[in-house]
Amino acid sequence: MKLTFPHMGNTYITAKTLLDDLDVDYIIPPFNNKKALEIGTKYAPELACLPLKINIGNYIQAYEKGADTVLITGGCGPCRFGYYCEMHRAILKDAGYEMDILTLEMPNQGVKELYRRVKKLAGGFNAYKIIKALKNTAQISKSVDELERLTFQVRPREIKKGSTDKIYKIFLNKALKTNGSEALKKLIKATEDELREVEVDRNFKPLKVGIVGEIYTTIDPFSNFNIQSKLGNMGIEVNRRVTISEWVIDHIIKNALHLPRDRSHIEAAKPYLGTMIGGHAQETIGNTILHAKEGYDGIVQVYPLTCMPEIVAESILPTIEKDFDIPILTLIIDEMTGEAGYVTRIEAFVDLLRKRKERTEHGRDWLLSGN
Amino acid sequence: MAKKVGIPRGLFYYQYYPLWKTFFEELGAEIVVSDFTNKQILDSGVKSCVDEACLPVKLFYGHVLNLKDKVDYLFIPRFTSISKGEYICPKFGGLPDMIRHSLKELPEIIDTEVNLRKSKKNAFKAAVDVGNYFSSDRHVIKSAYQKALNSYREFRSNVRKGVLPGDILSKRRGVLNKSSDETVNIAIIGHVYNLYDNYMNMDMIYKLRSMGVNITTIEMLDGKVIDEKNQMLPKKMFWNFGRKAVGGAFHIMEREDIDGIIYLMSFGCGVDSFVCDLIERKVRNTKDIPFTVLTIDEHSGEAGMNTRLEAFIDMIRWRNRNEADVPAYG
Amino acid sequence: MGETGYYLGIDVGSVSTNLVIIDEEDKVLEKLYIRTSGQPINALRNGMKTLTNRLNTNNIHIKGVGTTGSGRQLASVILGADIVKNEITTHAVAAQKMVPGVKTILEIGGQDSKIIVLRNGVIYDFAMNTVCAAGTGSFLDRQASRLEIPIEEFGGYALRSTSPVRIAGRCAVFAESDMIHKQQTGHSTEDIINGLCEALVRNYLNNLAKSKEILEPIVFQGGVAANVGIVAAFERALGKKIVIPKYHDVMGAFGAALIAKEEMTRKNTKSNFYGFGTTENEYKAKSVECQDCSNMCEVIEISANSEVIARWGDRCGKWSELDGSSEQVG
């Protein structure tokens, strides 16, 4: 068995930690690329959401490098992601790619089937080994997220433009070839040190923008045209509360073990969106409010065309925009999105945020001098 | 004076109206249903709803606008799940919130959550919550709910006998129209709110009938048959509609009396994008039966719809004649 | 009797109006391709005039008339057609005549595009473009005029491309803005045109041709088939040979004539054809939004010498059922 898994930003680091520590043989697909999207668009239903299409491209590119089994997590709806595994199965089969799909979820057939799948994945059921691997995975996942957050802070402040991007890119490529949680921990630490040494303007007060929306397209730089780096290089400090580690730890591990989860966004969303409706709609609403309360200057919502939960969120956001007086930009992405129009909208939004800031600051200055 | 409850003629109206009607009437409320979908409802809905939503949701907005000044309450229940272990489209769960944050000056919304995912008993709980708006007597509510269930069962049993829900709801019992050509049997798969809103689908059902087509829909099928066919899927469909559509389609494929299958989908419907694709793959991989997908959105032109319907029926008749060795085109 | 019979096929599309006359041997006697320019009645009149001038119409006995295309109803009313057929069926019939055994028909016209799959000489499956104009001839026309290149030379430019550019866009508007962007970044016109051809073909194959098995022989017809750039892009994408039939630009009309012949031979009745001079009548078409109900249907009314001869477009049938009391709309 030669495993592969779909890309989603830097998730491959988390996934490879797990597989390395379980001694599983795997192939990481080439980083998300136009060809992968093209392959996916060719085989997937036209109105399927973008992540499904890129996933298909990942699998087929990994298949060509020798992978024969796909590892993916599942779900029980109502968001379409829960049925990805079956769509993947049907699409790959019809396209003539013989690949097995291994879905990590509680199957209809019960615990026994789950046990079978884990055993197949881990090549046995060594509980100690599995728990240790999970622990390392969670840890790596967390520190990768912290490292990414550090780039959010350094990038807008760096004196020499492009320094952060360069260091982070080298890290992403090195991580591909670094095996095992111990080596990865070292790499992360070294990168962190390097980032901290980047020369920054300590007096610069960047505008702050929160990124919300559907998880895949917010986390994955290929599908969102690298929005975090784009904003950062325009001198904006971005933040994104939905992260891989949050998703892995909160969503999968804590949920499975019935541990208490972070509910702050749910509480915040309550007056606007009363129930869980799947996907990340509640996070989108709740985190927008939390960012607004923290004094952020603007919010960017990103989601793939036809994403059901985010359409609900988008309908509610105008009220929040008004109630909290925070500008919100919605960016909808599909395989047809052209970068030019996309960038124009981001630039216009940033201009708007700057103008707003200037006006409020000038207003204050004027008040002070009038005193 | 009786309180007026507004029921928008959209989405689950097409599935549950007989139940709601009896329930509210038994509680002494007056029911006002929005007008049949028309151009104005469509235009106002499209204008007030986010662009990315599917047409049925946009139409629902239009129906709410059509009603809002005529009633004391708007009945927009929050549907999370309508059957055990299953979900429906996320937009239904967020519908009252979407409406509330997009439309202004609305009457009070009855947005009781209906969530039968954990247990069927929650249906009665939801009924009590809704009933409390009109009566504090639990017995009255319970009796109204029982009668409502009976109305619903009668509706379902009529449908199962072969009457289209759309015919019952629009009281337009135009059965099979006479046509000189031989009768063709078509199964149409799609959400009830796409199939039975005649304005939205450009009178598809009546157009087909006037071409001499007999129509079967999944609502007419036996639930057991649907469940049985669903076992063919490796992972259970978690959308209620998806389970019914897939099970229904697999069953229809095996029937010799069905000449063709039409899948009616609304552009931008997430559930349709998966369900239709799975059905289409299955049909094309296993059976040589004509299959077509008709997609509708607010830009769909009637001419295109007519051409597709005519060509589809032509194709079936052509094929049938060909099998009978009569060389003839359409 | 004994005199040779001829059959007239007319395809009234939104971009072009085509007329074809065939003889009893299915040979094309005359074919015309006329720009509709938004005025189908004028186009028909021009067509009939040209035919009268070119042929000795007194000796041409028209035994059957078939109309097709989005204006098929209009043409039928004005000329007196014997059959009115949708353009999918007519295109398939014509392609089969030109290329016996054809298995796949790619058709790209002015405002729509289609794929038709045939097996054993019967339409097996088909699809028509759903969403937008990005995969049609009008889109290319528009881009050609934007680049100030005659559409006839468009394809030649594409063939001279050395490094293709990827133009993104689901719909014509976005593709256009992306194209402008590529122009500004300094790509050569040849490369951009080639990029447009590839984008059109990609959209076509990804959307229309998905789940269709494209087997040879493959016929490419419709106005766009004259564009060598598109043909080359199709052949590259499919890795297969593409056949352009002789009458590729008037296949709908040709098919309509063939079906008319088949039908009239079967029925053995006299044609409804009003004669070549009929278009000399004073025709008026007007469209009125009916205000009688909230459907606000757009009713089309055709009158000849100020007498109403046909109406359509209403959902209720009130206007289209002409009862002699020629009440005027509006």
Q: Quick one: which of A298, A301, A302, A299 has its CA closest to A355? A: A298
Q: How far is residue C135's CA from residue C234's CA, in Å, rounded to a whole number?
A: 13
Answer yes or no: are the C-beta atoms of C61 and C24 closer than 8 Å: no
What is the pairing mode between strands C104-108 and C113-119?
antiparallel
Task: Check B203 against C89: CB less than 8 A apart.
Answer: no
Calculate the CA A33 to chain-centre distance.
16
pLDDT of residue B330: 43
pLDDT of residue C132: 57
Nearest CA distance, B315 vs chain C (angstrom): 6
CATH number at residue A334: 3.40.50.11900
pLDDT of residue A114: 80
Q: Quick one: which of B16, B182, B26 has its CA closest to B83? A: B16
Q: Do A245 and A310 lie in a common domain?
A: yes
If one compares C6 and C311, the residue with the highest pLDDT of the two is: C6
Q: What are phi and psi of B263, to 5 degrees?
A: -105, 120
Q: pLDDT at residue C153 above 60?
A: yes
Q: Which residues of chain B make contact with C293, given a CB cutoff of 8 A?
A: 38
Other beta carbons within 10 angstroms of residue C28's beta carbon come to 16
Q: Select the residue from B285, B315, B321 to test the C interface by mutation, using most C Cβ atoms within 10 A.
A: B315
Find the mean pLDDT for residues C132-156: 80
Q: Do A156 and A116 lie in a common domain?
A: no
Q: Do A191 and A250 lie in a common domain?
A: no
In the block, tokens 């304005």 appear at B199
Q: Do A175 and A281 lie in a common domain?
A: no
Q: Do A217 and A196 lie in a common domain?
A: no
Q: Do A196 and A212 lie in a common domain?
A: no
Q: Do A143 and A170 lie in a common domain?
A: yes
Domain final residue, candidates A168, A203, A238: A203
pLDDT of residue C330: 44
Show the tokens assigned to A355.
């103008």
A110 touches chain C (CB under 8 A): no
Show the tokens assigned to B74.
């708007």
Task: Check B270 against A49: CB less than 8 A apart.
Answer: yes
Q: Where are the domains of chain C?
A: 6-89+252-282, 100-244
Q: Do A194 and A214 lie in a common domain?
A: no
Nearest CA distance, B278 vs chain A (angstrom): 7
Find the mean pLDDT for residues A294-302: 96
- Return all residues near C245 (Cβ < 8 A) that are at least 6 apart: C94, C95, C98, C99, C219, C221, C251
Q: How far is residue A302's CA from residue A333's CA, in Å, rounded to a whole number?
A: 7
Answer yes or no: are the C-beta atoms of B314 and B186 closer than 8 Å: no
Give a yes or no: residue A130 inside a domain. Answer: no
Task: Check C293 against B38: CB less than 8 A apart.
Answer: yes
Peptide bond into C217 cis (omega under 30): yes
Q: How far is residue B9's CA from residue B11's CA, in Å, rounded to a whole number?
A: 7
* Of residues C70, C122, C130, nearest to B319 (C-beta): C122
Nearest CA distance, B209 vs chain C (angstrom): 15
Chain B with chain C: Cβ pairs closer than 8 A? 81
Show the tokens assigned to A257.
């073990």
Nearest CA distance, B323 vs chain A (angstrom): 29
Q: How confident is the model at residue B11 (pLDDT cuts 50, 70, 90)?
A: very high
pLDDT tens digits, residue range B233-268? 888 888 999 999 999 999 999 999 999 999 999 988
- CA distance readout (Å), A350 to A163, A204, A231, B149: 22, 16, 8, 56
Q: Do A228 and A112 lie in a common domain?
A: no
Task: Check B235 against A74: CB less than 8 A apart.
Answer: yes
Find the mean pLDDT for residues B270-274: 93
Q: List alpha helices for chain B, DSSP H.
A: 13-26, 39-48, 55-67, 90-102, 122-131, 138-160, 165-169, 192-195, 204-210, 223-230, 240-253, 270-286, 302-323
Q: Quick one: which of A26, A297, A20, A364 has its CA closest to A183? A: A20
* Biggest alpha carbon–alpha carbon distance for chain A: 76
Q: Do A314 and A218 lie in a common domain?
A: yes
Q: Do A265 and A119 lie in a common domain?
A: no
Q: Indicate the SS3 state at residue B4.
A: strand
Q: In what order do the strands lie in the sheet with A3-4?
A: A3-4, A69-73, A100-104
Nearest CA distance, B282 vs chain A (angstrom): 9
Structural domain tally of chain A? 3
* Of residues B35, B293, B315, nearest to C123 (C-beta): B315
Specify the long-range contacts of residues B219-225, CB closer than 8 Å, at least 24 apart. B219/B159, B219/B160, B219/B164, B219/B165, B219/B192, B220/B159, B220/B160, B220/B161, B220/B162, B220/B164, B221/B160, B221/B248, B221/B251, B222/B160, B225/B251
Vertex B36 angle, CA B35 and B41, to 5°: 75
* Of residues A46, A337, A340, nearest to C207 (C-beta): A46
Q: How confident is the model at residue A253 (pLDDT cuts 50, 70, 90)?
A: low
Task: Check A315 against B53: CB less than 8 A apart.
Answer: yes
In the block, tokens 């000038």 appear at A362
Task: Check B273 against A46: CB less than 8 A apart.
Answer: yes
Options 3.30.420.40, 3.40.50.2020, 3.40.50.620, 3.90.1150.10; CATH of C6-89+252-282:
3.30.420.40
* Of residues C170, C181, C205, nearest to A336 (C-beta): C170
Helix (H) or strand (E) holding A368: helix A339-370
Percentage of chain B exceeding pLDDT 70: 95
If one compares C302 and A54, the residue with the highest pLDDT of the two is: A54
- Rounded to the nearest integer, the mean pLDDT of chain B is 90
pLDDT tens digits, residue range A181-199? 999 999 999 999 999 999 9
CATH number at residue A109: 3.40.50
- Return all residues near B280 (Cβ < 8 A) that are at least 6 apart: B263, B291, B293, C211
Q: Give the nearest chain B residue to C111 (CA atoms).
A: B304
Q: How confident is the model at residue B100 (pLDDT cuts 50, 70, 90)?
A: very high
Task: Check C178 against A340: CB less than 8 A apart.
Answer: yes
Domain final residue, candidates A125, A147, A164: A125
Task: Check B307 against C88: CB less than 8 A apart.
Answer: yes
Q: Give the nearest chain B residue to A107 (CA atoms).
A: B235
pLDDT of residue B23: 97
Percentage of chain C exceeding pLDDT 90: 33
Task: Check A338 against C166: CB less than 8 A apart.
Answer: no
A311 touches chain B (CB under 8 A): yes
**Exposure string for C30-44, b = 16+ CB within 10 A, e = fewer:** ebbbbebeeebbbbb
Find the mean pLDDT for residues A85-94: 94
pLDDT of residue A108: 76
Give a yes or no: residue A111 inside a domain. Answer: yes
Q: Do A368 and A221 lie in a common domain?
A: yes
Tell me the CATH class for C100-244.
Answer: alpha beta
Q: Indicate the SS3 state at residue C225.
A: helix
- CA distance readout (Å), A310 to A62, A80, C140, C288, C305: 30, 12, 35, 40, 57
C127 touches chain B (CB under 8 A): yes
C70 touches chain B (CB under 8 A): yes
Show the tokens assigned to A48.
């399927």
The terminus-to-terminus CA distance of chain A in angstroms comes to: 76
- C-alpha dihedral, C304 to C307 to C312 to C316, nearest 10°: 180
Q: Quick one: which of C206, C234, C210 has its CA closest to C222? A: C234
Q: Which domain holds residue A354?
A: 206-371
The terminus-to-terminus CA distance of chain B in angstroms comes to: 60
Vertex A103 angle, CA A98 and A107, to 5°: 125
Task: Check B90 against A308: CB less than 8 A apart.
Answer: yes
Domain final residue, candidates A153, A184, A203: A203
Among B39-53, B240-254, C193-207, the least confident range: C193-207
